[in-house]
Every structure is written in structure tokens, then in C-alpha cells.
Amino acid sequence: MKLLVINPNISDDVTALIEAEALRSASPGTEIVVRTAGYGVEYIETRFESLIAAGAVAEIVAEYTRDGASVDGVVVAAFGDPGMPALKELTDVPVIGITEAALCAAALQGHRFSIIAISDRIRPWYQDCVERFGLGGRLASIRSINESLNGIASVQQDFKA
């Protein structure tokens, strides 16, 4: 199996983290191809930035899924799943975003779930994402860190409990 994993932002540091996790999680024999958006922003924080990222992601998906190209599936590796559901119309291979996967997993784990966001600015977009998957009634809260970041690639380490 060959999976295309796309980082919709332009941060090479984040792409390296995504690649490391994808390789760690992949089944033996799975080939992982990781790509970074060719343009956009370092961290997608608004619906508008998501639209920019969606274009960059669509170009990569088209390149890897057109006639003669061969990937068995596509993973969009940014919360908010930039470009969904339009990306699913672009190709015949399965396309999933990490938001869709995370929300489905959270819904299976318990009755309600919460999301921790980087800033208040992102909360309306995240709310829309949850509603798009029909899980608005299961969302307990969206809370924001609202602190300066050393870098988007180090958020998990910087705010580790």
C-alpha cells in the first residue's frame, strides 16, 4: 500500500513531525510519501488560510492521483482538513483528513469530547468542522491556549502537561 500524506501548511518542521509519526504508525510494507504545501501559511488558523491551503493540497493530490500516478490513499494532515470535501471529488482514491479521523475516534471513545486549539481565532472554524461531521451536539468545548508559540512544530513539547 502507498499512502500520500500532505502537510497543508508550509512548515518543513511540521512536515518532519508528520512524516515521523506516519512512519511510526504505518503497517509493515506500507510506503509513505509525505509532501508539504508549495505555498500558503506556516500555521492555518482561519477559514481563509484554509482556502489557500486547499488549493496547494489539491495540486499535490492531482499530481499523485492522475492517470499513471499510483497512491492508494491520501491523508490531509492538518486540523480542519483543508479542501474537504472537494478533495474527495478530485480523485477516485480514498481521501481522509486528520480532523475527520480524530472526531470519529473521539466520538467512539465517549459521549462528549473537547478540542484544544492554539488560539481563539481558530475556534469558529473548528466549530464549523465539528458541525460538518454532524457531531456538534457531542462537542463539550473548544478551549484555546492563547499563549505565544516558540514555533508551530514545538507546540506539543512546549505545552506538555
The C-alpha cell of 22 is what?
506516519
Which residues pair with residue 75 across a beta bridge? 5, 96
pLDDT at 157: 56
**pLDDT tens digits along 12-29:** 999 999 999 999 999 999
**pLDDT tens digits along 23-65:** 999 999 999 999 999 999 998 988 999 999 999 999 999 999 9
User: Phi and psi at residue 35, in whole multiples of 5°?
Assistant: -130, 150
Pair 9, 46: CB distance under 8 Å: no
pLDDT at 48: 94
Q: Give residue for cell 473521539.
A: 106
pLDDT grade, residue 156 (50/70/90)? low
Burial category of 17 from C-beta neighbours within 10 Å (exposed 0-12, middle 13-18, buried 19 and up) = middle
Domain extents for the chain? 2-158
Q: Is the pLDDT of residue 83 over 50?
A: yes
Edge-first strand order for the sheet with 2-7 is 31-36, 2-7, 73-76, 95-97
pLDDT at 99: 94
CA atoms of 102 and 88, how far apart (whole Å):
18
CA 10 and chain centroid, separation:
13
CA atoms of 54 and 86, how far apart (whole Å):
9
CA atoms of 108 and 149, how far apart (whole Å):
31
pLDDT at 154: 47
Q: Is the pLDDT of residue 147 over 80?
A: no
Q: What is the DSSP letter of 27?
A: P
Pair 59, 86: CB distance under 8 Å: no
Return the CATH class of domain 2-158.
alpha beta
pLDDT at 148: 57
